[in-house]
Structure 1
Amino acid sequence: MRPVSFREAAAVWWRVALLSFGGPAGQIAVMHRILVEEKRWVDEQRFLHALNFCMVLPGPEAQQLATYLGWYLHGIRGGLVAGTLFILPGFISILALSLLYAGMREIPAVAALLFGLKAAVLALVAMAVWRLAQRALATPLLRIIALVALLAIGWLKLPFPLVLLLAAVIGLFAARFESTLLGHGWQPASQATVAASGHRHLLRIVPPALLLWGAPVLCCMVWLGPDHVLVTLGLFFSEVAVVTFGGAYAVLAYITQQAVAVQGWMQPGEMLDGLGLAESTPGPLIQVVQFVGFMAAFREAAPFSPWTAGVLGALMTTWVIFVPCFLFIFAGAPYVERLRSNLLLAGALRCITAAVLGVMAHLAFWFATHVLFAETRRLAGLTVPVLGSVQWLPLGLGVLALWLLGRRGWGILPVLALTTLGGGVAWWLLY
């Protein structure tokens, strides 16, 4: 692999950030397409290895994957740039939409422009799951693990860490006793070239990161008092940051309960509106907390104006949610790189990859259910679409996007632009 300049990598990370629509599955698809298939800066094995590591951490796995790969290419500064740029477009978008929402509540122009975007995102997610499955699900065992993971998350509602743990145990046993169950090409390629420096590495990373994480909350506590809404937001979402295993979907129910029923920051319908904004803008879905922070501070603004308080609330929630992500990656990535040559670990990660794909397939199904159908219902514990409520326009745009991406070889940006403009025009004409 040729050396990658920092400037070139920064430009690519900005491109990844601008295309990071569609939740974790779509965002992982964008990174895979650009970094593995197009640029060839990262090989398939390392990409999956990094993804597995990020999936077992609390926090948004796609943002952590970007941080990890940025660190791999250019160290801590590369990780900071990749991770920060991944957040920035979504932060700006949701802040702007939060300002509009708080002031106007009805933004039909935005709804019109985003109408076709979701269809293209759905196509991108479906293609990502399909392409990764072709590479990673090489044996019946791996396909069974993916299917069981899908059902465990979507039907049995098992905790995400437990699903990954069970997959890892199966992988350990398969690697130890019957490696043919894992297929070919899963063995570690070579000894890693990156090594951690023991406790000195942790001492260099962890204390400064913890200080940065807690500094805004401590400052607001001293300045505004322990009961101010900014302090409450900082403490609550700091807790959320360390329990968000399995991505945003796994913790949204808890956030909604606290924001609506316990704290009274917003109404149930407003929480759904915020989720729609987060799903329709670039960046991690967990950035819905930015909308929650904005609305909570907007309504309890003293001693600031509502608009100033809302911006401060958005900044506070974004800070305490994402700073730990950098901490986890910078502290743990060197050790994970050193373990890439471990045979048993490689087997465990092979099965974790299969389970991760099952989870991605579940997210893709959830997304398709809400994009392509106007109504859903519960069936045997699953949320399934009402077939008679199919929305033909999003379906047609999704099929068009899938054809352009998969058959015609169009780039992501032209497809997103075409479906967004086409969907916007159709929305104005039909709705």
Structure 2
Amino acid sequence: MDPPVTMSHGEKRDEESPKTAHVQSESATDSPSEEDDQELHDNSNVPRLSYPKLSWFFFYNFGLFAWGGPVAQIALIKDKLVTQDKWITLARFQRVFSVYQILPGPEAAELCMFFGCLSAGRMGGIIAGLAFILPGFVLMLVASYMYTLAGFENKYFNASFRALQPIVAAVILRAAHKIAEHSVRKHDTKRIDPFLVIAAVCTAINCALRLNLFISLGLYGIIYMFVVRRFWIPAAILFVLKYVGYAIYAVLRGMPSPVSLALGVARTPSLINLFVLGLVASSLSFGGAYTAIPFGAYLDTGSLGNAFARAVIITLGMFAPCFLFTIAGHELLEKLVRNKFLASFFDGLCASVVGVIATIAVQILKASVEGTLNKVKGGGATLAQAVTATAQVDPAAVLYMLALSVLYKFTNKYTPLFLVIAGAVAGQFLFVDV
């Protein structure tokens, strides 16, 4: 069954399209000289899809093919719904994306719910969110069960996962590039804005210094508001004060901890413990990695039924805030996105997010290439283990470069899936310890 096709401007909509026609006519009356003001309003080209079509659309386009984690998922959503189908303008997408950075829960799922709400109201948002989440949850559930059957120390499973690490790092870096392509440009001239580039670079530096993520996002949003309005002195003061405050903290308290907040859980947590853990994890998450949830829920569960219940419960907890804020607060979030005063704040925040994503990509790359050396560095490894670990670094680096080359050469949505399959097979030849 083919996915529903989004109609172009010249094609006739189905019978549920009065809202879209109204939006188009409203956009047509806007003055061309008010381009930036247009981008803040609902000048979308969103089709009115029925619930079954909407469900299949998000299930097929994003649920099944959103490989590579939240960054790759967001890039895929932007490419399909903004660049290709033009549901909304790029400027509006960037501000929506920025708003969801300061909300709890996985942003990729929230973006699917946002577009679902635009197409079919709140129920459409719920359907789109569930259609996006379901494939990843089911696949991870099956993979986790198979992994527990084979054993956590199974050398064949671990060899495939070892090969997939550099490939995933390449997918994330390519997706980060796609997001950055438009996040550091001015909306009117489409030229690179040096201040947005500085915000991205400095945020990456702040991550290396372990400065709290939300401090960077908020401050660079405010600083860019000052820059756009040419309030140079307040912008400079805020920029300098941030590092002065960090230096004072580092002198008095030392380097900030890599983990600023953690949650203790009972050794054998109840379903309520797991639900609360999901709520807290979602509230503190950035980019949300829901595909790891069932894996943790399978540990020391005692029975398959209990394991499945734990996986479902913690996933519900993880996505509860996501659905609550996105669906219930859709109208309020839309007002924030369209607010002209806050537009520059979200532009600065969006550029700052690029720095965070770039840092994540580098960290995953480092872990994927050097991961096997950790056993050697930790001591206790035999000479044979040390030689094997060292020998595995080069193949991981080669896999990373090959995957990155393929991703830049081929832009088909099936490319990441092909790389995942190829990586799993390659791992059996490259990383199985004899």
TM-score, length basis structure 2: 0.68
Deviations 1:48-102 (A, max 9, x none): 1121111101121222122222222222122112211222122112222332333
Check if 1:239 corresponds to 2:280.
Answer: yes
- Paired with 1:341 and 1:233, the residues of 2 have a C-alpha distance of 37
Correspondence for 1:159: 212
Deviation at 1:17, TM superposition (A): 1.3
Which runs of structure 2 are paired with 1:11-160 in the superposition (5 Å)? 11-14=56-59, 15-106=61-152, 110-111=157-158, 117-137=164-184, 138-153=192-207, 155-160=208-213
Q: Give the 3-state SS of the residue equivalent to 2:210 in structure 1.
A: coil
Letter in 2 for 1:371: S
Which runs of structure 2 are paired with 1:21-420 in the superposition (5 Å)? 21-106=67-152, 110-111=157-158, 117-137=164-184, 138-153=192-207, 155-177=208-230, 229-242=270-283, 244-247=284-287, 284-295=288-299, 298-299=301-302, 306-374=303-371, 391-407=393-409, 409-417=410-418, 419-420=419-420
Deviations 1:184-218 (A, max 9, x none): xxxxxxxxxxxxxxxxxxxxxxxxxxxxxxxxxxx
Deviations 1:238-291 (A, max 9, x none): 33333x1434xxxxxxxxxxxxxxxxxxxxxxxxxxxxxxxxxxxx41442333
Letter in 2 for 1:84: L
Deviation at 1:394, TM superposition (A): 3.8
Deviations 1:392-424 (A, max 9, x none): 4343344333333323x441314531x234333
Q: Is contact 1:175-1:344 (8 Å) kept?
A: no
> 131-140 or 43-52: which moved more?
131-140
Letter in 2 for 1:27: Q
- Paired with 2:222 and 2:337, the residues of 1 have a C-alpha distance of 17
Larger Rg: 2
Check if 1:10 corresponds to 2:55.
Answer: yes
Q: Is contact 1:175-1:343 (8 Å) kept?
A: no
Runs of 4+ in 1 over 6 A off after TM superposition: none
Letter in 2 for 1:55: Q
How has the CA–CA distance of structure 1 residues 149 and 390 changed in structure 2, closer, same or farther, with 3 Å as cutoff? Answer: farther
TM-score, length basis structure 1: 0.68
Letter in 1 for 2:425: V
Deviation at 1:43, TM superposition (A): 2.3
Q: Is contact 2:98-2:349 (8 Å) kept?
A: yes
How has the CA–CA distance of structure 1 residues 118 and 81 changed in structure 2, closer, same or farther, with 3 Å as cutoff? Answer: farther
- Paired with 1:4 and 1:406, the residues of 2 have a C-alpha distance of 33
* Structure 2 unaligned blocks of 5 or more: 1-44, 185-191, 236-267, 375-389
- Paired with 2:176 and 2:415, the residues of 1 have a C-alpha distance of 21
Deviations 1:3-39 (A, max 9, x none): 3534544333112112222222122112122222233
Correspondence for 2:428: 428
> 313-322 or 84-93: which moved more?
84-93
How has the CA–CA distance of structure 1 residues 328 and 370 changed in structure 2, closer, same or farther, with 3 Å as cutoff? Answer: same
Q: Give the 3-state SS of the residue equivalent to 2:87 in structure 1.
A: coil
- Paired with 1:374 and 1:236, the residues of 2 have a C-alpha distance of 28
Q: Is contact 1:129-1:361 (8 Å) kept?
A: yes
- Paired with 1:93 and 1:108, the residues of 2 have a C-alpha distance of 21
Deviations 1:371-405 (A, max 9, x none): 2333578xxxxxxxxxx777343433443333333
Q: Is contact 2:75-2:178 (8 Å) kept?
A: no
Which gives a bigger RCO, structure 1 or 2 (Cα 8 Å, sep 6+)?
A: 1
Letter in 1 for 2:321: P
% same residue: 27
Deviation at 1:353, TM superposition (A): 0.7
How has the CA–CA distance of structure 1 residues 309 and 392 changed in structure 2, closer, same or farther, with 3 Å as cutoff? Answer: same
Correspondence for 1:214: none
RMSD: 2.9
Q: Give the 3-state SS of the residue equivalent to 2:371 in structure 1.
A: coil
How has the CA–CA distance of structure 1 residues 393 and 330 changed in structure 2, closer, same or farther, with 3 Å as cutoff? Answer: same
How has the CA–CA distance of structure 1 residues 353 and 325 changed in structure 2, closer, same or farther, with 3 Å as cutoff? Answer: same
- Paired with 1:97 and 1:421, the residues of 2 have a C-alpha distance of 14
Deviation at 1:295, TM superposition (A): 1.9
